[in-house]
Amino acid sequence: MSRSPSVSTETVLIASTIGVLTILGLYWYQRKRKNAVPTKWEPVGKVKNLFIYPLKSGHRIELETAICTEYGIKMPKSGPSYQFRDRSFLVYKEDDNEFRTARQYTNMIFIKIAPHPTKEDHFTLDAPRMPTLTVRIPSLKTTPQGEITFHKGEKIFTLDCGDKAAKWISNYILGSNSGLRLGFHDTDHRRNICNSHKKYLGVYPRFRNQSIGMYTDFTSYLVINQASVDDLNNRIPETNITALNFRPNILVEGENATPYSEDNWNWVKIGDAILYLAKPCTRCVFTTIDPETGIKSESNEPIKTLKKYRMLKDVKNIELDGSLPVMGNNMGLEKGGVVSVGDVVYVGRN
Ligand SMILES: *[C@@H]1O[C@H](CO)[C@@H](O)[C@H](O)[C@H]1NC(C)=O
Ligand SMILES: *[C@@H]1O[C@H](CO)[C@@H](O)[C@H](O)[C@H]1NC(C)=O
């Protein structure tokens, strides 16, 4: 009788140890399973549009077919356009090499960089009321390696596109002969997660060095669900919000792609390409610039309305990102492949 309390203490100890280990094991298993590439795929819709933005903050080019690479969407044609990838050009300040976007100069959204139709290794620069400029794509053979300063002081590789491009860009954006320059990323120089983004690693388990693209803010892909944009637009009667406000690479539409179901699209398969959700995309003032007119919304839409119902909910995420609303998925590439408008979009279930 006198021993029974100590026996039961032992039993309790053993039982609770087994319990704790089981819970830890299950947690580990769930986490591993959630982060593994799924084997089951369900169709949710189709690719409605594909967009590439060769210049960060610049004009989109709509594609029928694109190649999904680790560094984002690439144009499919052979020849010089093989270099044309999403966000591979960027504007930076001449005096301190700091990057510039449409957050500072809204007229940047009309600058169109495209492959030259005939000249190998050249691209064209176009913008309203500006002459077309043909520029050679810089390479390490012709141009010394440079470095631009990005968000939060991150340093990223760049190759300057030369004086003529700098003058053209400064003329168009500033109305001056100098001040800004144009940089290009050749993808040969890997960009790794910078110090200020390391804090995301524990919270977003699939986020990794290979997720981040070239001059993209967070990841090499932005996937948007048309139904979510339609739902948002219905909440803002006075303004016409379209998916273009959010500058997606892949726009998905379909019966089973219900509004905000993309929050659970941890894995997406289109053709052979497989993308993983790295992080929900938090949205800034850029989305309030009308993609057709370049005019900033006076009522701060769609951010004002998004803030009413699409705020980050998880405390951990809020600590990382601040109090910001979400629209779309920042995705990384698991497996490359060709994607086309009309392709079925599958979501993986683990
Ligand atoms: C990213 O790459 C750098 C440089 O190779 C490495 O030190 C770092 O551990 C990598 N980070 C992750 C999360 O894999
Ligand atoms: C809203 O934008 C879409 C796409 O540009 C256009 O087709 C439609 O006519 C616009 N609607 C209004 C009310 O302006």
Q: Closest ligand 1 atom to the C-alpha of 208?
A: 13
Cα 234 to ligand 2 centre (Å): 13
Q: Going by C-beta distance under 8 Å and a sequence separation of 6 or more, which residues neighbour residue 185?
A: 88, 89, 90, 156, 157, 158, 159, 214, 215
Determine which residue's CA is closest to atom 14 belonging to ligand 2.
240
Distances (CA, A) of 132 to 41, 113, 123, 251, 302: 46, 10, 10, 30, 33
pLDDT of residue 22: 87
Determine which residue's CA is closest to atom 11 belonging to ligand 1.
209
Ligand closest to 238 (CA) is 2
pLDDT of residue 26: 83
In tens, the pLDDT along 278-290 reads 999 999 899 999 9
Burial grade of 95 (CB within 10 A; 0-12, 13-18, 19 or more): exposed
Q: Going by C-beta distance under 8 Å and a sequence separation of 6 or more, which residues neighbour residue 93?
A: 99, 100, 179, 180, 181
Ligand closest to 291 (CA) is 2
The domain locations on the chain are 42-349
Q: Closest ligand 2 atom to the C-alpha of 240?
A: 1
pLDDT of residue 47: 98
How many angstroms separate the CA atoms of 85 and 170, rounded? 23
Cα 57 to ligand 2 centre (Å): 22
pLDDT of residue 30: 76
How many angstroms separate the CA atoms of 115 and 120, rounded? 9
pLDDT of residue 189: 83
Cβ contact 335:214 at 8 Å: no
How many angstroms separate the CA atoms of 285 and 22, rounded? 46
201 lines ligand 1 (CB under 6 A): yes
Segments of the chain scoring below 70 in pLDDT? 1-7, 34, 78-83, 315
Backbone angles phi, psi at 264, to 5 degrees: -105, 15
In tens, the pLDDT along 17-36 reads 888 888 888 888 777 776 78
pLDDT of residue 82: 61
